[in-house]
């Protein structure tokens, strides 16, 4: 689990010191979560995160007990009590059984993040393939073992991310990101049902369509990575980040289509922040 940063957390309706948080609030039973990036005090694409929160709960036959407005209040409160306007916030709905009764705990806190630096956006980052499958790819459910394993591989091999390959040898997604692959004016990404459809991914698909690019959801064999012009990952922390290398295969990071996608996505972010100032501040 990512290290909790900042001084205060919120557990249900109580503000507590981050030093006193009980990790059982997160790891026991079933925990559905979202990570939202905060920029200038605005939780980016808040509404889409709440929709995905609800979808994750439905997939595992659970229900969120806080509505969108209550969750928004908790986020605003967390930002204010910590006086932090930029960072990643984690929200967790935890369900567990105690004395034959279903118990529920909501928690939210700032977590450690790693945003790519300017050089990484310009020249891309190295990633590697890793054979693994998620049990519930469409739901954001905490899996401590999976996170620990992928984090160790990333650290050991000095790569930015690992790209998952399923049992049939097809590329699916990153451990914390989605992946796109460009060949001429075709942009490929995995089939939605096989992955966690990221919010950044959704915007990238729309941008590609608006730019007149052919956006294609299909299974891509790991063997075919050498036939691509460019690749990139998307996610809460990296936004849109070029890949310079997958295993031993190198890619161009100055692809004209990738450049256009990045520029448009950054414009969308700036527009969202500007229009939400009156709601979150």
pLDDT in tens, 24-40: 667 788 889 999 999 99
Which CATH entry fits the domain spanning 118-269: 3.40.50.2300, 3.40.50.720, 3.40.50.300, 3.20.10.10? Answer: 3.20.10.10
**Pairing status of strand 178-183 against strand 186-189:** antiparallel
- Residues 132, 164 contacting (CB under 8 angstroms): yes
Pair of tokens at residue 47: 């509404």
pTM recorded for the entire structure: 0.91
DSSP conformational letter for 252: -
CB atoms within 10 A of CB 159: 19
Domain ranges of the chain: 8-111, 118-269
**Local confidence pLDDT in tens for the 281 residues of the chain:** 578 999 999 999 999 998 888 776 677 888 899 999 999 999 999 999 999 999 999 998 999 999 999 999 999 999 999 999 999 999 999 998 888 888 899 999 999 998 999 999 999 999 999 998 887 777 777 677 888 889 999 999 999 999 999 999 999 999 999 999 999 999 999 999 999 889 999 999 999 999 999 999 999 999 999 899 999 999 999 999 999 999 999 997 789 999 999 999 999 999 999 998 877 76
Q: What pLDDT shows up at residue 94?
A: 92
Please give the Cα distance from 105 to 231 (Å, whole number).
Answer: 39
CATH topology classification for 8-111: D-amino Acid Aminotransferase; Chain A, domain 1 (3.30.470)
Pair of tokens at residue 233: 């990952």
């Amino acid at each position: 689990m990512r290290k909790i940063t900042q001084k205060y957390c919120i557990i249900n309706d109580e503000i507590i010191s981050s030093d006193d948080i009980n990790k059982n609030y997160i790891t026991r039973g079933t925990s559905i979560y979202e990570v939202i990036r905060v920029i200038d005090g605005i939780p980016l694409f808040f509404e889409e995160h709440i929709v995905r929160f609800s979808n994750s709960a439905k997939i595992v036959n659970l229900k969120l007990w806080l509505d969108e407005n209550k969750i928004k209040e908790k986020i605003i409160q967390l930002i204010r009590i910590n006086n932090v306007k930029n960072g990643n916030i984690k929200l967790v709905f935890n369900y567990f059984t105690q004395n034959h009764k279903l118990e529920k705990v909501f928690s939210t806190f700032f977590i450690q993040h790693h945003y790519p630096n300017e050089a990484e956006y310009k020249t891309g980052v190295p990633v590697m393939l890793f054979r693994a499958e998620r049990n519930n790819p469409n739901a954001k459910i905490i899996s401590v073992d999976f996170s620990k394993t992928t984090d160790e591989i990333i650290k050991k091999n000095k790569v930015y991310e690992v790209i998952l390959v399923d049992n049939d040898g097809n590329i699916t997604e990153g451990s914390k990101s989605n992946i796109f692959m460009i060949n001429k004016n075709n942009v490929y990404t995995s089939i939605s049902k096989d992955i966690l459809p990221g919010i950044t991914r959704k915007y990238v698909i729309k941008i590609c369509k608006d730019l007149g690019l052919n956006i294609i959801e299909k299974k891509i064999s790991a063997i075919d990575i050498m036939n691509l012009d460019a690749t990139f990952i998307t996610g809460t922390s990296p936004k849109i980040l070029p890949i310079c290398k997958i295993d031993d295969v190198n890619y161009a990071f100055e692809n004209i289509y990738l450049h256009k996608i990045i520029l448009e996505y950054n414009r969308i972010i700036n527009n969202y922040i500007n229009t939400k100032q009156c709601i979150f501040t």
